[in-house]
Amino acid sequence: MTNAPEPWEPGSGARDADKRHAPATLRNRDAIVAVLRDALPTCGLVLEVASGSGEHAVHFAGAFPTLGWQPSDPDPAALASIAAWRAEAGLPNLRPPVRLDAVGDWPAMEAAAILCINMVHISPWEATLGLMKGAGVTLSSGGLLYLYGPYTKDGVETAPSNLAFDASLKGRDPRWGLRAVDEVIVAAKAQGLDFEKLIEMPANNISLLFRRV
């Protein structure tokens, strides 16, 4: 496979006004980096699915300068934000964003790792199934799929704040909501992705790590 998906280019150039701000990024990015330091390879391409504002991509590319970082998103406003943050950062290992809808066709590339942060609960279940299918094709052998966000666990009481969050998500879109860890593991296994570990994170979030067989 090729490592050169077509980049998304803003029509009028990246502008500061295009930059979005996600407050949660500042709260969780260093905790995520601490997990990734033990999980990522030392070289290769990292694809971030649903990059959102682009703030994570800039922070991670700076923290892991020997890795190539490929942000992506299906939303034109998010792509503009990513491009603006990228232009400001000027990091040589941070690539221009590409359009990628987890449910649709993925750009042709081979990735050593795929990151997906806070998408699984703010999307229909079909997006998670598409993520697993795309990861199964895109990851190199032994490649990492890293998920971060709030989940539920069988036999473990869900934090009241997460229950309230789940209700608010379903109120916005009944197809959204916190997913059960076991269901995510089953979906990954069906695409040749073995569950490696679960790591408890601050603020009732979870890191899930998978490896392509």
- Give the tens place of pLDDT for each residue, 54-108: 999 999 999 999 999 999 999 999 999 999 999 999 999 999 999 999 999 998 9
- Give the tens place of pLDDT for each residue, 136-189: 999 999 999 999 999 999 888 899 999 999 999 999 999 999 999 999 999 999
Q: Which residues make Cβ contacts (< 8 Å) with residue 29, sequence separation at least 6?
A: 55, 56, 59, 60
- Give the tens place of pLDDT for each residue, 17-46: 888 888 888 889 999 999 999 999 999 999
With a pLDDT cut of 90, the percent of the chain lying above it is 83
Q: Which residues make Cβ contacts (< 8 Å) with residue 149, sequence separation at least 6?
A: 117, 118, 119, 120, 121, 205, 206
pLDDT value at position 17?
A: 81
Does the pTM of the predicted model rise above 0.85? yes
Cα-based torsion angle of the residue sequence 138, 144, 149, 150 in order, rounded to the nearest 10 degrees: 110
Phi-psi sector, 168: left (phi>0), alpha (psi -120 to 50), beta:
alpha
Q: What pLDDT band is residue 6 in, cutting at 50, 70 and 90?
A: low
